[in-house]
């Protein structure tokens, strides 16, 4: 399998090179030159397979011969060795809980897979690899945990000051070792733009071996397909599901779209957005206009210019009608998010985090029109990561898992930067 740049002005590369480079030299994102089609036998039998076996068969065509099969299978085992339960909430809506990994967020899957791939590839590199990543919340902690202690790899995480939850901040600023957190006085979009500039800065790349762990990196993005398969393993209805995906940078939903195009039976997708609604407006007008990021209580989705939008276009060959036929999108503001958390807990005794609430509310809106359908939404983070917001909305305290209680006694260690690329460059070169 080779990967081309969405800007069509860089040489094709294999999975190893795409993973190590992160972003193409022409500033495009790497995209597979073909979408593998799932074997009919696999589709009949995958519900009885282990999660590791499913993950291996799904990702193997994308990896090609870049990782030996035994090693790739072991990577898949490490990536998927926790639960992904599908929990019924109403007769027509279920929650796929993606917060049972080590950092209690869905990004554990992509981060664990990528860290182990990069660790495998770094054995052949004489230079230390620096993973440079921007986070709007959960990416940072998942990447930090996934790469902690990986030899030959240093991790630098940019996060927007005051715009991530206390638990999220502690998860990415208290690890030490090969992890450094840069606290940027700005928005996630500022952080993301600074990271992108670093990857296109010739002087920086000459002196530092950079790669990215955001969902722009194929090794972070593609394994997100796994939990769509894990969800379908547990689906007990005859008709394929509607899947509502809380969407910020659009890596998650784009991975699901690839799984569906590969043959996984998914009836329709719902892009669940907060007030950062550039994609919602795109579906309404056919024109995509990037927006300044707006701060919300579902902060991991506070992205005004989603990087993976270009991959959605690429997957559907820039055909607007195809996109619109397969995806609906809704914008859920903070007021509706709070009301949804309160209502779902009161009526169904299920505790949502703000992102899950956006997913639930969006799926409800779709099902109000398509009453014959049933679906699921992705609960992408444990409610404890947004303890204050959830408690205020529902009136009940959130129990802090024992794995996180020790964090509350630690002190963060971060380096403060202005939202200025030159400051990031100076830090990296120093």
pLDDT at 137 over 80: no
pLDDT, tens only, 323-345: 999 999 999 999 999 999 999 99
Contact 98, 378 (CB under 8 A): yes
- pLDDT for res 300: 86
- pLDDT for res 326: 96
- pLDDT for res 171: 85
Sequence-distant (6+) residues with CB within 8 A of 123 are 152
pLDDT, tens only, 269-288: 999 999 999 999 999 999 99
Q: What percent of the chain is modeled with pLDDT above 70?
A: 99
Q: Is 322 a catalytic residue?
A: no
Burial of residue 2, with CB atoms counted within 10 A of its CB: 0-12 exposed, 13-18 middle, 19 or more buried: middle
Query: Could you please report the per-residue DSSP string of 192-225?
Result: HHHHHHHHT-HHHHHHSEEEE-STTSHHHHGGGG
pLDDT, tens only, 200-230: 899 999 999 888 777 889 999 999 999 999 9
- pLDDT for res 401: 81
Which one of the listed residues 21, 49, 88, 107 is annotated catalytic?
A: 107
**For the chain, domain boundaries:** 85-105+221-403
Cα separation, 55 vs 219, in Å, equals 13
Q: How far apart, in Å, are the Cα atoms of 4 and each of 161, 249, 354?
A: 35, 20, 36
pLDDT at 393 over 80: yes
pTM: 0.89
Task: Tell me how far the alpha carbon of residue 226 is from its chain's centroid.
Answer: 12
pLDDT at 291 over 80: yes
- pLDDT for res 400: 81
pLDDT at 54 over 80: yes
Q: Which fold has domain 85-105+221-403?
A: Rossmann fold (3.40.50)
pLDDT at 264 over 80: yes
What H or E segment, with its residue span, contains residue 33? none
Half-sphere exposure of 269 (CA within 13 A, CB side): 27
pLDDT at 36 over 80: yes
Mean predicted confidence (pLDDT) in 26-47: 95
CA-nearest of 206, 227, 207 to 110 is: 227
């Amino acid at each position: 399998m080779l990967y081309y740049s969405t800007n069509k002005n860089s040489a094709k590369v294999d999975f190893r090179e795409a993973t190590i480079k992160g972003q193409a030299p022409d500033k495009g994102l790497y995209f597979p030159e073909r979408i593998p089609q799932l074997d009919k036998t696999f589709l009949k039998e995958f519900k009885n397979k282990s999660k590791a076996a499913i993950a291996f068969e799904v990702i193997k065509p994308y990896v090609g011969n870049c990782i030996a099969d035994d090693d790739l299978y072991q990577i898949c085992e490490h990536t998927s060795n926790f639960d992904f339960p599908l929990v019924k909430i109403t007769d027509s809506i279920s929650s796929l809980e993606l917060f049972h990994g080590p950092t209690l967020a869905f990004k554990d899957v992509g981060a664990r897979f990528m860290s182990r791939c990069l660790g495998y590839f770094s054995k052949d590199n004489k230079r230390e690899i620096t993973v440079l990543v921007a986070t709007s919340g959960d990416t940072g902690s998942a990447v930090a945990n996934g790469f902690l202690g990986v030899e030959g790899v240093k991790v630098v995480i940019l996060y927007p000051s005051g715009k991530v939850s206390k638990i999220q901040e502690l998860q990415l600023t208290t690890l030490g070792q090969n992890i450094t957190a840069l606290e940027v006085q700005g928005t996630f979009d500022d952080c993301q733009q600074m990271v992108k500039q670093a990857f296109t800065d010739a002087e920086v790349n000459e002196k530092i071996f950079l790669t990215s762990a955001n969902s722009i990196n194929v090794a972070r993005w593609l394994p997100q397909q796994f939990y769509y398969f894990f969800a379908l393993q547990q689906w007990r209805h005859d008709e394929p599901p509607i899947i509502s995906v809380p969407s910020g940078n659009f890596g998650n939903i784009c991975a699901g779209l690839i799984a569906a195009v590969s043959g996984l039976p998914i009836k329709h997708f719902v892009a669940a957005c907060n007030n950062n609604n550039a994609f919602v407006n795109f579906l309404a007008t056919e024109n995509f206009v990037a927006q300044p990021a707006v701060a919300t209580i579902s902060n991991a989705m506070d992205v005004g210019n989603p990087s993976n939008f270009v991959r959605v276009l690429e997957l559907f060959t820039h055909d607007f009608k195809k996109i619109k036929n397969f995806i609906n999108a809704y914008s859920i503001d903070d007021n509706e998010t709070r009301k949804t958390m309160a209502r779902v807990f009161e009526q169904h005794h299920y505790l949502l985090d703000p992102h899950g609430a956006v997913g639930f509310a969006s799926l409800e809106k779709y099902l109000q029109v398509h009453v014959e359908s049933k679906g699921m939404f992705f609960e992408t983070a444990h409610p404890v990561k947004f303890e204050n917001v959830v408690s205020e909305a529902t009136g009940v305290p959130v129990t802090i898992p024992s794995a996180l209680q020790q964090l509350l006694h630690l002190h963060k260690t971060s380096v403060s930067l202005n939202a200025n690329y030159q400051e990031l460059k100076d830090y990296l070169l120093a």
